[in-house]
Structure 1
């Protein structure tokens, strides 16, 4: 979850700086930008944030259907969803190599596809239910760190998890902004590589083994 939080920082930097000020993971930011854009403030974009919101929501809905009724722990369905996300990010990196400066329509496609990856990633985080690890936003994590951990003195593990999530999304944004200066494809490729690493490690070390079916007793006469 820490690694996926880093991915969010990377792609949000790409979206805001390289795709016309569209957040791809932080939907709170998109809603605020959309509201100010509708009001005509500072020529802020409207279409990009709106479509990114739709992509995030649609992907979260589909992921919710896939994960519905799933038993606790890492399951094959989680591997599949994150693997698809890694493939989408890799595809966007390849597309960026062909068109490093996409026009307005291309930017919307890039932002919406990335937001969709973040939507399903958010649902994976909810399914795994690691406390304060939503992977896509750290507002509640920061509030918990300041208003609970520092006030009530929660144990070290929770303190470290909250602090690390905040620091890591910051570092992801730094990495995304710096790598974007090299090429649009570079931060997208990094996000894809980290996602695939999470898939590999999670599937090999965290996946819950399938429970064998119970043998039906033989009717002995």
Structure 2
């Protein structure tokens, strides 16, 4: 019986390519968080810290903040991260078929939500808001699990608080001016750019930023599977007869 596994391509390109793919996913997080907060009743779909803070203030009765949306998003994000962790638990630090499959599933989900938002009258309903925010949060949970599995230092794709802390307390302290230009600053700038793009695209409707996020996630899946993943026959099947 033959089996297949996945190993990263050898050579110096693999770490850089993996970093670039995670940066693209970080941009996607900025886009969909802008969609969630501005277009889906103030729900963060990637930044769960924001949802927890909103829930705390909402429970206190502050400013008529939403409860149901952030609560469901927390649950679906957690489920997405759990599912991703289950599928990736034996394939750490390598771009496996499971990584590609999870990102493709995210692409399909975001594409479906973008298409659904084009249905007249549907995007303005509370049901759509809840479905869209919870589904996108699940996609972000999966994405976070993928990033954690691939273990690119300082790039989690969904949150930059720890990255900003590392940048300020380590890069600036240890490197001075030379410590400014690194992946930590890049991750912060990229998620900012994603949020900016998402907010601007919302002027065209929900479909535009959601379909952009879907397209970029699909690009990452294709790049990763094509350049970072190699199916390798097992030793048993590779041995000469």
Q: TM-score, normalised by structure 1?
A: 0.93
Give the alignment of 1:79-90 within 5 angstroms: 79-90=100-111
1:103 aligns with 2:125: yes
- Partners of 2:76 and 2:135 within 8 A in 1: yes
Question: Which residue is 1:43 aligned to?
Answer: 64
Distance 2:233 2:43 in 1: 44
- Partners of 2:92 and 2:150 within 8 A in 1: no
Aligned residues: 218
- Partners of 1:122 and 1:135 within 8 A in 2: yes
1:72 is displaced (CA, Å) by 2.9
CA shift digits 1:12-42 (9 cap, x unpaired): 0000000000000000000000110011000
1:156 is displaced (CA, Å) by 6.9
1:29 aligns with 2:53: no
When residues 124 and 104 of structure 1 are mapped into structure 2, their CA distance, relative to the original with a 3 A threshold, is same
Distance 2:238 2:204 in 1: 62
Please identify, of 179-188 and 69-78, the stretch whose mean Cα deviation from structure 2 is larger: 69-78
1:69 is displaced (CA, Å) by 1.2
Question: Which residue is 1:8 aligned to?
Answer: 29
Q: Specify which of 143, 160, 177 is matched with residue 121 of structure 1.
A: 143
- Partners of 2:172 and 2:180 within 8 A in 1: no
1:73 is displaced (CA, Å) by 1.3
Please identify, of 154-163 and 7-16, the stretch whose mean Cα deviation from structure 2 is larger: 154-163
Question: Which residue is 1:207 aligned to?
Answer: 229
Root-mean-square deviation (CA), in Å?
A: 2.0
Q: Specify which of 10, 16, 19 is matched with residue 40 of structure 2.
A: 19
Distance 1:19 1:57 in 2: 19
Distance 2:187 2:230 in 1: 25
Secondary structure, counterpart of 1:42 in structure 2: coil
Distance 1:217 1:78 in 2: 28
Distance 1:132 1:139 in 2: 10
1:130 aligns with 2:152: yes
Q: TM-score, normalised by structure 2?
A: 0.86
When residues 2 and 215 of structure 1 are mapped into structure 2, their CA distance, relative to the original with a 3 A threshold, is closer
Unpaired runs of at least 5, structure 2: 1-21
1:62 aligns with 2:83: yes
Q: Specify which of 139, 143, 150 is matched with residue 161 of structure 2.
A: 139
Q: Specify which of 179, 185, 190 is matched with residue 163 of structure 1.
A: 185
Distance 1:158 1:62 in 2: 36
When residues 75 and 149 of structure 1 are mapped into structure 2, their CA distance, relative to the original with a 3 A threshold, is same
1:154 is displaced (CA, Å) by 8.7
